[in-house]
Amino acid sequence: TQAPVNVTVTGAAGQIGYALLFRIASGQLLGADTPVKLRLLEIPQAVKAAEGTAMELEDGAFPLLAGIDIFDDPKQAFAGANVALLVGARPRTKGMERGDLLEANGGIFKPQGEAINAGAAEDIKVLVVGNPANTNSLIARSNAPDVPIERFTAMTRLDHNRATAQLAKKLGVSVSDVKKMTIWGNHSATQYPDIFHAEVAGKNAAEAVNDQKWLEEDFIPTVAKRGAAIIEARGASSAASAASAAIDHVYTWVNGTAEGDWTSMAVPSDGSYGVPEGLISSFPVTCRGGKWEIVQGLEIDEFSRGKIDASVAELSEEREAVRKLGLV
């Protein structure tokens, strides 16, 4: 059998961590033939809670789980990591300005980037889930100069999955009939879920819907504000669906997209579609052989252009703000 893959998970004692770790242990992150060793990172106050989760993982008797180690030091947690899921972040609290939020997260993602640079495995793949995910990923990447930039990504797969489910519901089809959904831009309320290139049972999705009012007044806001709606209903932010999307993101990155389909990932821009180089922005991507590639040559109409530009402008502002703080 294969040697175990080292998977580092930060924020392991949090609510996404609780849902995520069991799915990793069961083999859903990398596949049913790949044993995993978990390396959990938490802040010192939450190490005990992470130990509790580790006890439950042990009690799951997962055949693919080859070991669990718990750390409060990023250098140790990322040593030898093949996959890193950066979930722990500083949430926005009442009265906190965006600059404060970015600075607090800089205090987390800068040292984590440095630790990845210092000790992760050659083939390290990083997914940032903790918000503001795109810019946190940018901070980590900027502090890991020896790691190829394409190894740093951020999660918009939850938005992608939400958009796919909403479109399937509208058209009364199965989610598996929906292909080529795209989320553009930032994982925030400015994100743009694009159905103009999506296909439903082989037909263009926008034509199948044929309802611009639904698109603008229902679909886009429902997808973009779904996180807030979950908080309103559940009294807590989305956790199991976020964990599921993180599993999907890494599984697709490692195992590839299906022929005739793509997914959405926030990845470092190479300037495609007018997105400034280096911003970690969501694009349609295909994956093959453990590498992602931005889908090229899509026609972007005026409506979509405006939406993409607005979300990308927000990412540029966030980059400017963290530049001023000396974080990138």
Positions in the binding site for ligand NAX (CB under 6 A): 10-11, 13-17, 41-43, 46, 87-89, 91, 108, 129-131, 133, 155, 158, 187, 227, 237-239, 242
Q: In this complex, which beta carbon is closest to ligand NAX, that of residue 108 or of residue 206?
A: 108
Q: In this complex, which beta carbon is closest to ligand NAX, that of residue 48 or of residue 324?
A: 48
Q: Provide, rounded to whole angstroms, the least separation between the CB of residue 63 and ligand NAX.
A: 26
What are the strands of the beta sheet with 291-294, ordered from one edge? 65-71, 36-41, 5-10, 83-86, 125-128, 152-154, 263-268, 280-288, 291-294
Place of tokens 């609780």: 18
Tokens of 274: 């007018």
Q: Strand locations in the chain, DSSP E?
A: 5-10, 36-41, 65-71, 83-86, 125-128, 152-154, 178-179, 182-184, 192-194, 199-200, 203-204, 263-268, 280-288, 291-294
Side chain identity, residue 314: E
The β-bridge relationship of strands 36-41 and 5-10 is parallel
Q: Provide, rounded to whole angstroms, the least separation between the CB of residue 26 and ligand NAX.
A: 19
Contact 88, 78 (CB under 8 A): no
Tokens of 187: 């994982």
Q: In this complex, which beta carbon is closest to ligand NAX, that of residue 129 or of residue 321?
A: 129
Q: From 41, 123, 106, select the one nearest 77 (Cα to Cα).
A: 41
- Sequence-distant (6+) residues with CB within 8 A of 228 are none
Q: Provide, rounded to whole angstroms, the least separation between the CB of residue 208 and ligand NAX.
A: 27
Q: In this complex, which beta carbon is closest to ligand NAX, that of residue 15 or of residue 316?
A: 15
Q: Provide, rounded to whole angstroms, the least separation between the CB of residue 207 and ligand NAX.
A: 29
Q: Provide, rounded to whole angstroms, the least separation between the CB of residue 299 and ligand NAX.
A: 28
Q: In this complex, which beta carbon is closest to ligand NAX, that of residue 142 or of residue 241?
A: 241
SS3 70: strand
Q: From 128, 126, 159, select the one nearest 238 (Cα to Cα).
A: 159
Query: In the beta sheet, which residues pair with residue 36?
Result: 5, 65
Q: Which of 160, 187, 197, 249 is catalytic?
A: 187
187: annotated active-site residue: yes
Q: In this complex, which beta carbon is closest to ligand NAX, that of residue 127 or of residue 275?
A: 127
SS3 229: helix
Region of 73 on the Ramachandran plot (φ > 0 left; ψ -120 to 50 alpha; else beta): beta
Residue nearest to ligand NAX (CB): 14
Q: Provide, rounded to whole angstroms, the least separation between the CB of residue 123 and ligand NAX.
A: 23
| DSSP track, 20-31 | HHHHHHTTTTT-
Residues with a catalytic annotation lie at 187
